[in-house]
Structure 1
């Protein structure tokens, strides 16, 4: 299977050995971030720094001023962690090392946007805003995400793109000094705490026969025993229906599924319109449509009719691949995303076995997270595993 390693531009730029080091792993491709959220990242081999602090969500290239003139939301340009056209500089260096380069585009995940424009954020049934989570039902946000997808995906020299967080973001998010684990919310509680009640979502619920005020009250009532620890909130979708009621739960899901699905269709179409022929468009995806987060919840049959394939989280097991493989769509890319940084829960020593198990579940390619963050020992493990395939 073809393997690609995730890389940030700051892993490469300023390090003359970085591109060859990545190529020596045995991968044929890199997935290079072109639009990314705030982060603090190690660069354990860089000659000039060891820690890079990306202070806010940003594009890692100069955005098109004409495209964004007068618009809100609009992308933020990176600071000194990725100055100028950092993506192009890194991409050119990686290409010279014989590697194909795809863009890695983060979309509905932007804390600075939420801080500066609070109205763009998801707001829960208690009135709490999630500044990291732009509400994808809002027309201006949908237009922003669609244009950002096209611009950040189709960079010079890119052979394809991977679109991350192209769907709903909710409560689950490793925020700064995160302290939200005191109550085990489970799948059902996470869903209820991720329902949005901004004006556009309130209108959307109304279109599904729900009164938004009554729905918010029902969510709060359903969660009260969860906060007290007297009722569990797991059990998948059946757990949501048990807490909220079957008809109400399904009406909220119908609104949210349609909202995410149509955004995914529009964004992928915009990328294709901007891209050269044979440009590959993949989504980071979860096969359960009501799930929120970086791996957007999707309907497998639908998304494989829209995009060229999916990148699926497989660290700890490859079960999430099966619903996509069951679609039996000829030519679809099913990429197993495996963490190879041992300090982040990965296991480079079991990479060969994990890749084999993923292939049994239908994987056609591998994604390795993350070549820039991994230790030397982790990289040796990756190199050994890929050499022995």
Structure 2
């Protein structure tokens, strides 16, 4: 089982020992951020700093001026947290340490875009805007995301990519000082609160015979029992309406995923691997985009699946896997973020029994020395994991 660790460029740049330290874990590969959202990140072993604040979503390399000339939506260069070609510098150091480097590209998650271009955001049934969530039904957003996927994924020397947030984003968001947990929302309530009513989505509903104003009223009415505290789940929508909304959103996400993967492959050398961070429940929104397993495995080379605490999400993908399919189990190994690196050996065994062919370790730059020691111990027991 091939093992890869997630890293940010700032985990490596400025620390001469970082790349070798990661290689010594026993991984063969690093999934290195090339385009990433805003974050505040701990760097517990870096020689020069302990906290890095990435103030906005950015590409961590110099964007191609010619590609983006004349376009209103374009990627933001990083600030001092990853200035210049931070990705390229980190990738070179990791390659020199004997590691394969794959890009990590976050797509439909960008608060700065939402704030500077508010019309691009998902708008819920109450008219509230989600600035972190670009609406993937909007033509200009889709064009931006497809171009970004091709540019950020195919960096010099990269052997593959992992596309995160390649689908719908919705209400759920790890926002600074988040205060949205006051009412518990079940799966269906999260879905209804993530439905978009921007002009493009309203047109999409209209083309399927739905009145978007009546649909918004119905969504709000369905959610009333949730706000009253009577249930975590809303009342059901009219079945025909629900089917048309589902069809519109599913087709919108599928065609974006097809276009993004196609653009990456058109720009990449032969043998370049393209994976999506994915959830097998097609209605789910967020970093792990909801997909239909059969469809996405006919489009991409495989998926990266959230498996911390419960690897059973692998099973629907395993049903449609072929000999060359990559099913990567994403396991959090940072104790302070809910990971259990001490049980990594058994977690890997269970993931493999459910079809995992590879493992992703989140996150080698954020983990403590004790967490990494547990990872190293587990990977030494994994046949073929050491380079």
Q: TM-score, normalised by structure 1?
A: 0.97
Aligned to 1:236: none
1:194 and 2:165 are equivalent in the alignment? no
User: How many angstroms does 1:178 deviate by?
Assistant: 0.1
Aligned partners of 1:89, 1:223: CA distance in 2, in Å? 49
**1:40-73 Cα deviation digits (max 9, x unpaired):** 0000111110000000000000000011112121
**1:289-346 Cα deviation digits (max 9, x unpaired):** 1100000000000000000000000000111000000113221000000000000000
1:314 and 2:307 are equivalent in the alignment? yes
Aligned to 1:336: 329
Aligned to 2:137: 137
- Mapping for residues 45-64 of structure 1, pairs under 5 Å: 45-64=45-64
**1:166-188 Cα deviation digits (max 9, x unpaired):** 00000000111000001111101
1:181 and 2:181 are equivalent in the alignment? yes
Aligned to 2:172: 172
Runs of 4+ with deviation above 2 angstroms: none
Aligned partners of 2:231, 2:337: CA distance in 1, in Å? 32
Aligned to 1:4: 4
Q: Secondary structure at the match of 2:80?
A: coil
User: How many angstroms does 1:378 deviate by?
Assistant: 0.3
User: How many angstroms does 1:116 deviate by?
Assistant: 0.5
**Contact in 2 for aligned 1:223/1:243 (Cα 8 Å):** no
Aligned partners of 1:232, 1:97: CA distance in 2, in Å? 50
Superposed CA RMSD = 0.7
Query: Unpaired runs of 5+ in structure 2?
Result: 383-387
Aligned partners of 2:56, 2:321: CA distance in 1, in Å? 40
Q: TM-score, normalised by structure 2?
A: 0.98
Aligned partners of 2:93, 2:231: CA distance in 1, in Å? 55
Aligned partners of 1:312, 1:231: CA distance in 2, in Å? 29
Aligned to 1:361: 354
Aligned to 1:161: 161
Aligned to 2:385: none
Aligned to 1:372: 365
1:274 and 2:267 are equivalent in the alignment? yes
1:263 and 2:264 are equivalent in the alignment? no
Query: Unpaired runs of 5+ in structure 1?
Result: 234-238
**1:351-388 Cα deviation digits (max 9, x unpaired):** 01001000000000000000000000000000000002
Aligned residues: 382
User: How many angstroms does 1:225 deviate by?
Assistant: 1.4
Aligned to 2:93: 93
Aligned to 1:70: 70
1:248 and 2:241 are equivalent in the alignment? yes
